[in-house]
Amino acid sequence: MRGFRWTKLVPTILRNVKRDPEGLWPEGLWIEPFLGSGVIALNAPHKRAVLTDSNLHIIRFYQAVKNGAIDGATIREFLEQRVP
């Protein structure tokens, strides 16, 4: 996720969220109500996560990642074809 200025907020956000003694959120569960790029959820230490968003495109994208229809190689190939 390098290169995105807003990722600089990740350490600040994660430092300010209450955790249990193991460094996890209560019961190891992270709840992300507005997933967006997923930068916080993907950097947060958790055992389980509930990731939600109101944008249907984001929801379908992450469902495809979860189901294995899209992986890192697929994303890289897609971006290399479209980004100059």
pLDDT tens-digit profile of 39-80?
888 788 778 888 889 999 988 988 998 899 998 888 888 888
Is residue 14 within 8 Å of residue 32, measured between CB atoms? no
Number of domains in the chain: 1
pLDDT of residue 54: 93
The C-alpha R_g of the chain, in whole angstroms, comes to 15
Dihedral angle sign, alpha carbons of residues 48, 32, 11, 27: negative
pLDDT of residue 53: 92
For residue 40, how many other CB atoms are within 10 A of its CB?
19
Q: DSSP strand E in 1-84: where? A: 29-32, 48-51
pLDDT of residue 24: 66
Q: Which of 48, 33, 41, 34 is nearest to 13 (CA)?
A: 41
Mean pLDDT over 14-27 rounds to 74
**With 60 as the cut, is the pLDDT of residue 5 above it?**
no
pLDDT of residue 2: 44
Residues spanned by the domain of 10: 5-82
